[in-house]
Amino acid sequence: MHRITRRLVGFVAISAASLGVIACTPYATFPSDSDSLVLTPGVYPVPQLMGKALSETYARTMGDLELVPPAVAGEEAAPAPLIYALPSGINERDWRQVGILTEVDSAREVTMADIEAGLPIWEIKQVRVRSNRAEVDVAYPSNGDLYQLATLVYEAEPFRAYQLDVFQRWLIPADRPVCENPSEIARIEAEQAAVEAAAAEAQAAADRAEAEAAAASENETADEAGAETEPDTTDSE
C-alpha cells in the first residue's frame, strides 16, 4: 500500500513538474521576437496555422466590406477575394502552400498592384507556438482604409491538429499590409534591372555618338588647317 502511495505521489510530482516546464517554456515565433525561439515558416505547424488563420479571419470579416461589382453585366456582386500577405522570409513554394491551405477559392497572393490600388488585404503578422497552444495575429481590412488586428488562439490535443479556441478582435489600428511576396520582388527587381540595362545601353550609345561626332569634327578641323597651310603652286602671269 505504501509502495503504491509513493508511486502515486511520485507520478503527481513528475506531472506537476512537467506542467511547470511547459508553462515556463517560451513561445517559438515567426517572425522572431528578440527573446523567442525561431519557428521555421515552411515546417508544420506554421503553414497550416497561417492558412487556417487567414481563412477564419476572412470568413469573419469579409462581410464588413462592400461587395465587388461584377466584371460582366448581369452577374451578381461578389465578396472581396482573399488577397493574402505573409511576413518576409517565406519562399515562393510556401506562399503557394498557404494559399492552398486556406481552402478559399478566391485566395491569391498579394501583388504590388494590389497595394497601390488599395485593395483589401489580409496579412499574417506573427505566429507563436508553445506546446499544444498556438496564436496567430492577422491584420484585416475594416471600414475605409483602416486595418485592425485579430488574434486567433488554437489548441491541440496530442497527435491531433490545432483547432480554433478563441477569435479575438482588438480595437486598435494595425499597419497597412506590405508586399513581401518573393515572386513580386523578383519581378520588380528584374524589371528594374532591365530598365537600368536599357538606360546604360542608351548612355553608351550616346557616348559613342558623341565620341564619333567629336572625332569627325577634329578631322574636319585638321583638313581645313591643312588646306590653309598648303603652298600656292599656281604660275604667275
Q: Indicate the residue among 177, 194, 229 that finishes a domain.
A: 177
Residue 226 domain-assigned (yes or no): no
155 and 194 share one domain:
no
Residue 102 domain-assigned (yes or no): yes
- Using the predicted structure, report yes or no on whether residue 15 has a pLDDT greater than 60: no
Residue 41 domain-assigned (yes or no): yes
64 and 30 share one domain:
yes
148 and 114 share one domain:
yes
- Using the predicted structure, report yes or no on whether residue 200 has a pLDDT greater than 80: yes
Burial 37-49 (b: 16+ CB within 10 A, else e): eebebbeebbbbb
C-alpha to C-alpha distance for 220 and 15, rounded to whole angstroms:
99
- Using the predicted structure, report yes or no on whether residue 234 has a pLDDT greater than 70: no
pTM: predicted TM-score of the whole model, two decimal places: 0.74
The winner for highest mean pLDDT among 8-22, 30-44, 138-152 is 138-152
193 and 76 share one domain:
no
Residue 220 pLDDT level (bands cut at 50, 70, 90): confident
Q: CB within 8 A of 121, min separation 6: which ones?
A: 83, 84, 85, 110, 114, 115, 141, 177
Residue 19 domain-assigned (yes or no): no
Residue 230 domain-assigned (yes or no): no
107 and 211 share one domain:
no
Residue 5 pLDDT level (bands cut at 50, 70, 90): very low
147 and 185 share one domain:
no
Helix (H, G, I), strand (E, B) or coil at 155: strand
Query: Which has more pLDDT, 41 or 229?
Result: 41
107 and 209 share one domain:
no
What is the tally of structural domains in the chain? Answer: 2
Q: Which domain holds residue 135?
A: 25-177
pLDDT, position 112: 96
- Using the predicted structure, report yes or no on whether residue 228 has a pLDDT greater than 70: no
Q: What is the DSSP letter of 170?
A: E
208 and 166 share one domain:
no
186 and 168 share one domain:
no
Please state whether beta strands 83-85 and 108-109 pair in parallel, antiparallel, or not at all (unpaired): parallel
The backbone region for 103, taken as left when phi is positive above 0, alpha when psi lies in -120 to 50, beta otherwise, is left
Residue 161 domain-assigned (yes or no): yes
Set of cell numbers at residue 87: 511576413
pLDDT, position 68: 85
137 and 91 share one domain:
yes
pLDDT, position 22: 38
153 and 210 share one domain:
no
